[in-house]
Amino acid sequence: MPNKLNRRQFVAAGAAVGVFARGPQVITRGVKPVVVAAGNGNRSKNSAGLTCVAKAFKMITEGSDVLDACIAGVNIVELDPEDTSVGYGGLPNADGVVQLDASVMHGPRKSGGSVACLEGVRTPSLVAKKIMDETDHVLLVGKDAQRFARLMGFTIEDDLNTPKSRDLYLEWKRRTDPEHYLNPKDRAELGYHVALEMVAEGKIDPDHFHGTINCNAVNSKGEICGTTTTSGLAWKIPGRVGDSPILGAGLYVDGEVGAAGSTGRGEANLLTLASFQIVESMRQGMHPKDAGMAALRRIKSQTISKRLLNRRGEPNFNVNYYIVNVKGEYAGVTMYNSNGMSSFAVCNEKGPENVKLEALLNGSAND
């Protein structure tokens, strides 16, 4: 005779069936909070002496919304005039105008917002969040993005250059176009090579030539969010938009899986939607490091233009990814870490620290 179930056994069995019917579930209990960011996320400090990752971690552990914490962290970098890759004092475009891009994504709310070619606002990450919060849209650009920011109460400045960024621009200008008669193609090629010369001479931080800071975080509930903000490629063609404000390229967050963001050559991310790929790889069970390496391998295989290859036939540019999943596992990976010194920023219960980026390829991009 079959065994009979009592009421408690029947209820428990029914609950188990319901769980399996819904498919695999992500278990996030006991997650250790962590914040990951680009290397400049542990450099600039606010008046309290906190860096981006330290500020974000403090807010998260005090109960703040994860996205609010990430944005508060990158605001420190956006407002730092010494960081020439982000916000105020970011290196301008070829016309000497600072144009900023940013994106945000909120995992629990399954939403995002972004802004591109924004002029006159020091903190584009906050404008991106306003687009997410106050509109039914995701991306606003150019003068209309500035108009929206003004309507939202942001201060609009005539010029976001600092004496440092303006002097660097003038130096680039003198080297690239002394007679003002170069045709556009020659001017663009010369401009790029002169910029690399200035990097080699130590006038520009190599990490700041392409610019950008990405910051992603997860709290003890497994809630995950991220933001990316940048002044873009130094001396870019006016109107150029890189990967940072494009969801899936410079930033992607799935609240049930994880987050990934990038710095480096934005065009490579745009052509592969690498941040989206990384999150999807984690969805299939990959560790953050393995997912990041898979994205780098894809970029390597898709880079076939001779102008983008070094003498070894490998990419002559760098790309970095900062990755965290809902379990609190994280990684920072790069195409090259030639001197072994390139790092990303992490903050957890041990405090803020710099962690070495793990490289896909040996040597350097320009070998």
52-79 pLDDT, tens digit each: 999 999 999 999 999 999 999 999 999 9
Joined together, the tokens standing for residue 64 give: 């703040």
- The DSSP code for 309 is B
Length of the chain measured in residues: 367
- For residue 85, give the nearest of 20, 168, 1, 174 by alpha carbon: 168
What confidence score (pLDDT) does residue 170 get? Answer: 84
The mean pLDDT of 260-268, rounded to a whole number, is 96
The token pair that represents 104 in the structure block: 């945000």
61, with CB counted inside 10 A (0-12, 13-18, 19+), is: middle
pLDDT exceeds 90 at position 291: yes
Count of CA atoms in the C-beta half-sphere (13 A) of 357: 34
Dihedral, CA of residue 244, residue 245, residue 251 and residue 253, to nearest 10: 170
CB atoms within 10 A of CB 79: 16
Calculate helix-pair angle for 66-78, 52-61, nearest 10 degrees.
Answer: 160
H/E element, 353: strand 351-356
- Beta-carbon contacts of residue 4 (< 8 Å; ≥ 6 apart): none
Tell me the average pLDDT of the chain: 88
Name the token pair of 330: 């994280």
According to DSSP, the β-strands at 111-118 and 139-141 are parallel
Position 186 confidence tier, pLDDT thresholds 50, 70, 90 = low
Structure tokens at 332: 């920072």
Is the CATH number 1.10.10.60 carried by domain 34-360? no
Pairing status of strand 100-106 against strand 224-230:
antiparallel
Does residue 212 have an active-site annotation?
Answer: yes
Is the pLDDT at 5 greater than 50, yes or no?
Answer: no
Taking the CA atoms of residue 114, residue 100, residue 207 and residue 49 in that order, the dihedral angle to the nearest 10 degrees is -90
In sequence order, the 6+-apart residues with CB closer than 8 A to the CB of 18 are none
Catalytic residue among 28, 51, 123, 212: 212
User: Which letter does DSSP use for residue 135 in this model?
Assistant: S
Mean pLDDT, rounded, for 32-48: 97
Backbone angle region of 106, left / alpha / beta, with phi > 0 → left and psi within -120 to 50 → alpha = beta
Tell me if 344 sits within 8 A of 36, measured CB to CB: yes
Q: Of 64, 65, 67, 74, give the one whose Cα is nearest residue 38.
A: 74
pLDDT at 84 over 80: yes
Per-residue confidence at 180, pLDDT binned at 50, 70, 90?
very low
Confidence of residue 187 (pLDDT cuts 50, 70, 90): low
pLDDT of residue 123: 98
pTM of the complete model: 0.85
**pLDDT for the residue numbered 61:** 97
Per-residue pLDDT band at 189 (split at 50, 70, 90): low
